[in-house]
Amino acid sequence: MEKKKHILIACGTGVATSTVVSMRVKEELEKNNIQATVEQCKVSELPSKVGSADLVVTTTSYENDEIPVIRALSFLTGVDVEADIEKIIEILK
């Protein structure tokens, strides 16, 4: 059995917007049969958490050279959500 993926979902405060994004990401992972742990956090916490993650999905700007980062404002605006979901699924497969 392959290792469960670990996704960090970060927003400025680690509460409101990351909850919206995290619920949607979990839904899509289930639809695509992808086993993953989805953890919400503040962007300021990313440096200490990112080592164990396979992917970072954020609603604010953040960059990391070690792992993929998707800036998913689409989950809040509703524009291009499908494209971001495809990217997430692609990275985790």
Cα(49)–Cα(41) distance, rounded to whole angstroms?
9
**Which of helix, strand or coil describes residue 9?**
strand
**Residues 6 or more apart in contact with residue 19 via CB below 8 angstroms:** 40
Q: CA torsion 8→14→16→22, rounded to 10°?
A: 10
- Cα 83 from chain centroid (whole Å): 14
| 70 strand-pairing partners | 57
pLDDT at 1: 53
Residues annotated catalytic, as ranges: 11
Q: Which residue has the higher pLDDT, 2 or 33?
A: 33
The pLDDT of residue 76 is above 90: no
pTM: 0.90
